[in-house]
């Protein structure tokens, strides 16, 4: 018999966060989060996303043993301002038993119906800054800290339960060439001159933080028409500035401004921390932080974390400027590969750029799953 229990106590929250550590134990592909940070994600005093969202956490039990988990999320900006009558689900992990999956999703549907919503979709987080999309190809590839890993039986459960695909993403593995592709370098020079643009260079992380508001404002403008996008709120911006931006090396951040100094494009890449996080196994202390610091200097691969382009400049070649510069930085640091973060399949403009990098190819696919609540 399957029992679904709502998480109420700190000990239960810890069980919720640590369940994947048991489920994926021994997997060479799953990348564990830092337990303390995962716990803070569900703390209203530490996560500003919870100012505009409600969350319910559930654990599935069989014979007093945890066999699954799920987070049910209602983003009120999405529901009330964007008029998307959607209940989200995320932090979904389960053993290979479709009845457990069915029981957990029933709780999502129940809460959605109670709040007058029309459909459910996931896996997603509170906002677009959280992990999203269930892996459907690339199970034997190392995950990264900003994406979801899951076993192959996950999507099969959703197919059998009659769910439809929502958003779909592709991730590319890009080999860093010894020399920047000639077409990319020429296009970058042409675009800079044609639109009178300037690439900003920074010497310290402190300088980056001064441009953070402009970056997130641009993100809201450039992402507004994408599926499932919810505008980043100022309280969230302040959190990201405090928690992340000041620790990013300026070499890995590229900002492009127009002749008035207004930001028109940006990108953030980071060395891959996947193997370091596997060694840390959820804990920064006593030795986890050492693995992460070492990865910042010695990692041979990187992750393209964020990229945004002003709508009126999209499809005009600004991404060539960004990758021309980042490729040079990668070469300087001895990086051999960069993995793109999930790119929506319809984002053809960015994907066309990868064809100039020999040996680059899509190596992972992921989707969200949707279902109308009146069919459940």
How many Å apart are CA 28 and CA 24, to the nearest integer? Answer: 9
Of 143, 165, 187, the one marking the end of a domain is 165
Longest pairwise C-alpha distance within the chain: 67
Verify that 34 and 131 share a domain, yes or no.
yes
pLDDT at residue 249 greater than cutoff 90: no
**What is the per-residue pLDDT for 227?**
66
On whether residue 180 sits in a domain, the answer given is yes
CB-CB contact of 264 with 197 (8 Å): yes
Of 105, 130, 165, the one marking the end of a domain is 165
Summarize pLDDT for 339-366 with one digit per residue, the tens.
998 988 887 777 777 877 888 899 999 9
**What is the per-residue pLDDT for 136?**
98
Q: Looking at per-residue confidence, does 138 or 293 come out higher?
A: 138
Verify that 238 and 330 share a domain, yes or no.
yes
Verify that 209 and 295 share a domain, yes or no.
yes
Q: How confident is the model at residue 307 (pLDDT cuts 50, 70, 90)?
A: confident
Alpha helices in the chain (DSSP H): 10-23, 35-41, 76, 98-114, 153-160, 182-194, 205-209, 212-223, 234-243, 274-280, 288-298, 318-333, 348-353
Verify that 134 and 206 share a domain, yes or no.
no
On whether residue 196 sits in a domain, the answer given is yes
Residue 179, domain extent: 174-367
CATH code of the domain in which 120 resides: 3.40.630.30
Verify that 284 and 147 share a domain, yes or no.
no
**What is the per-residue pLDDT for 296?**
85
């Amino acid at each position: 018999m399957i029992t679904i229990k709502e998480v109420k106590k700190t000990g239960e929250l810890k069980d919720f966060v640590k369940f994947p550590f048991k489920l994926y134990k021994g997997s060479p592909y799953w990348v564990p989060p830092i337990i303390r940070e995962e716990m803070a994600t569900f703390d209203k005093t530490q996560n500003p996303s919870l100012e505009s969202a409600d969350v319910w956490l559930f654990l599935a039990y069989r014979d007093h043993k945890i066999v699954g988990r799920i987070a049910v999320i209602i983003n009120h900006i999405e529901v009330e301002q964007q008029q998307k009558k959607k209940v989200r689900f995320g932090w979904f992990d389960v053993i290979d038993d479709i009845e457990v999956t069915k029981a957990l999703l029933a709780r999502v549907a129940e809460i959605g119906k109670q709040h007058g919503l029309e459909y459910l979709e996931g896996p997603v987080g509170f906002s677009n800054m959280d992990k999203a999309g269930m892996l459907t190809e690339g199970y034997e590839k190392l995950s990264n800290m900003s994406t979801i890993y899951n076993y192959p039986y996950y999507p099969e459960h959703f197919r059998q339960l009659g769910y439809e695909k929502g958003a779909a993403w592709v991730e590319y593995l890009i080999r860093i060439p010894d020399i920047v592709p000639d077409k990319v370098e020429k296009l970058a020079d042409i675009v800079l001159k044609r639109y009178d643009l300037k690439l900003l260079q920074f010497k310290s992380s402190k300088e980056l933080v001064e441009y953070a508001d402009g970056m997130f404002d641009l993100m809201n403008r450039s992402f507004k028409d994408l599926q499932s996008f919810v505008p980043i709120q100022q309280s969230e911006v302040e959190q990201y500035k405090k928690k992340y931006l000041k620790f990013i090396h300026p070499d890995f951040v590229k900002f492009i401004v127009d002749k008035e100094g207004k930001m028109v494009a940006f990108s953030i890449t980071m060395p891959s921390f996947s193997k370091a996080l596997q060694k840390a196994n959820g804990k920064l202390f006593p030795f986890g932080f050492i693995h992460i610091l070492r990865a910042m200097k010695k990692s041979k691969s990187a992750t393209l974390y964020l990229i945004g382009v002003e709508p009126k400049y999209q499809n005009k070649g600004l991404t060539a400027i960004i990758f021309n510069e980042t490729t040079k930085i990668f070469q300087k640091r001895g990086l051999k590969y960069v993995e793109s973060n999930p790119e929506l399949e319809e984002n053809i403009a960015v994907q066309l750029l990868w064809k100039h990098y020999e040996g680059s190819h899509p190596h992972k696919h992921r989707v969200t799953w949707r279902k109308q609540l009146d069919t459940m």
